[in-house]
Structure 1
Amino acid sequence: MHIWTLPVLGGTPRQLTDAPARFRDWYPCWSTDGETIAFMRSTSGENWAEAGEGNISVVSADGCEPRRITSESDRIFDAAPVMWSPDGKLLAYFSRDKRDAPDGTIKVIPATGGEPRIVTKVRGAFANKEMAWSPGNRRIAYNELRGDTTRIVSNMIKVVSLDDGSTEEIVPDLKDVKEIYHLDWSPDGKTLVFAGYTGGWPEFWTVGNFLPLARTER
């Protein structure tokens, strides 16, 4: 699996990366200036649960040689996306201390490389697949496992502050939602949108009025 770009108005796809044997490149994410793409490179298995160690790399949009950002010592959960902050300075991702550990952390690392820092601990890291930066770069919304760790029911949405690490749960009526996908923040910072699986076909949901978390950022 490799990273490609494709002109929206038509044209020839361009391959940007060439993953080595037994590796796959996935979860691409554009930088806000459109010049760089961050992605996950991990050893491949027969399914996502058997995927091996992952690392985050960046590649320029013109296809230069990728540059690895994270180190082998950082146990990155490689079945979850890499998210670029709106100001282009940080990359956020899920991490686990051990491959089979049930819990983990959300970390951020400078997009140019450097030491990562833990933003918050998360419960049921294997069930966490979604996160979204707030428009002002200071908060991250993410989904977290609710209830028994033997059941993958990640219908809890939390918001963590990058300023002080405080975390609050947003408590809408999500009892019928079994799984959350594609979490994103509105440009004004007041509403979250996500796809929710209720047992039939996935549906789109919005969550608003979760003040004071939705206050205007400065």
Structure 2
Amino acid sequence: MTPFSCPSTGRTYALTTAAAVIALAGCSSPEVDRADPAAASPQPRVLFQADGPDHILIAVGDLDGSETSYPLADLPGGHQMNPDWSPDGSQIVFAVNDGTRDDLWVSGADGSAPHLLLDCAGACRYLDDPSWSPDGASIVYSRTVARGRTGHGSLEEVDVATGEVSVILAPRVRTFTAGARWSPDGSRIVFESVHKAGPGVEAEVDGVSLRIADREARRAGPALTEPDLFAATADWSPDGTTIVYSALAQPDAGNPDLFVIPAAGGEPRQVTTLADAGGYAVEPTWRADSTRIVFSGKLPGAFEEGVLLTVSADGSAVEELGASTIVGRHPRVEPGA
């Protein structure tokens, strides 16, 4: 695994150079602008996580890179990670990692009224990768619990209004979930099924496959991808027919690229080929018109890593997201943009 010097971001599960790249977005420390993102230009925005002066911060930026703000720069508690918009774009959910545990928080998109949604206490170790349901009523996330030396991973959802928690996929010992995302109709959830070599919370990971869980049936379907390709960070196309994700092109590849696969299963199609020339592509998300995909990565020959990039759905025209470079991870384009 490639070493890196950024502050710890909680749970990581890297076996390959590709997974180490996913954990790294560059270690620059921008000056924090606490301006209200709603006061910026009216063009569509992107939500992402960025490196602040002391820890990782939630950032909101214009898609052209002209304006970026850090609406929760004054929130204490640790690294702010894995943000997602509410369906109407008025709120965001994110994880806060204090170096030991991940809690889930909600705030206004402008950073107003931040409050704890779920407290990871007791045997809990991680509440991670939150994703807001299309109807705005609930948030799906992954939970990891330590019982003695054994880790138990489950997929759960929390009612935003009441805080009531329900289990979608029951805890398992040598498998945990990550990167959950709702289908556009809210009936299914694509997620990473992460297999560990042993039962410990921090046991080495030896494979990752994408699966789809049926929300009502509370069960997962067969693997969509091979575990030795370490598929991750999937997102649904706006019409719900296609899933984009990051993975290795073959098991011995050094870095990941983007792929799409029918949600019903089938043969994946490679979208980017950045890894062939020393770049990489991770954490993709669709634009609302289905013609373009936004992701974090590195262009071949470029110096900076963890830059927000965009590519046409057919794989053509890979370029930086805006006229100004935006360094960040885990992008989420504003709903409808």
Q: Is 1:169 aligned to 2:320, yes or no?
A: yes
Measure how far apart 1:18 and its partner are.
Answer: 2.9
Q: Is 1:182 aligned to 2:330, yes or no?
A: yes
Aligned residue pair count: 181
| Alignment CA distance shift 1:182-1:22 (3 Å) | same
Check the 8 A contact 1:15/1:63 in 2, yes or no. no
Q: Is 1:108 aligned to 2:260, yes or no?
A: yes
| Alignment CA distance shift 1:83-1:56 (3 Å) | same
SS in 1 for 2:159: coil
What residue is the counterpart of 2:241 in the other structure? 89
Q: Which runs of 5 or more residues in structure 2 are unaligned?
A: 1-152
- Listed as ranges, the matches of 1:12-23 within 5 Å are 12-18=164-170, 20-23=172-175
What residue is the counterpart of 2:224 in the other structure? 70
Measure how far apart 1:148 and its partner are.
Answer: 8.0
- Listed as ranges, the matches of 1:27-46 within 5 Å are 27-44=179-196
Counterpart residue type for residue 109 of structure 1 = I
Measure how far apart 1:122 and its partner are.
Answer: 2.9
- Listed as ranges, the matches of 1:109-124 within 5 Å are 109-123=261-275
Counterpart residue type for residue 334 of structure 2 = S
TM-score by length of 1: 0.69
- Taking the aligned partners of 1:146 and 1:27, their CA distance within structure 2 comes to 24
| Alignment CA distance shift 1:47-1:7 (3 Å) | closer
User: Which of 143, 154, 169 pairs up with 1:2?
Assistant: 154
- Structure having the larger proportion of residues in strand: 2
Check the 8 A contact 1:69/1:114 in 2, yes or no. no
User: Which of 288, 293, 298 pairs up with 1:140?
Assistant: 293
Q: Which runs of 5 or more residues in structure 1 are unaligned?
A: 190-218
TM-score by length of 2: 0.47
Check the 8 A contact 1:44/1:50 in 2, yes or no. yes
What residue is the counterpart of 2:310 in the other structure? 159
- Taking the aligned partners of 1:24 and 1:58, their CA distance within structure 2 comes to 14
What residue is the counterpart of 1:60 in the other structure? 214
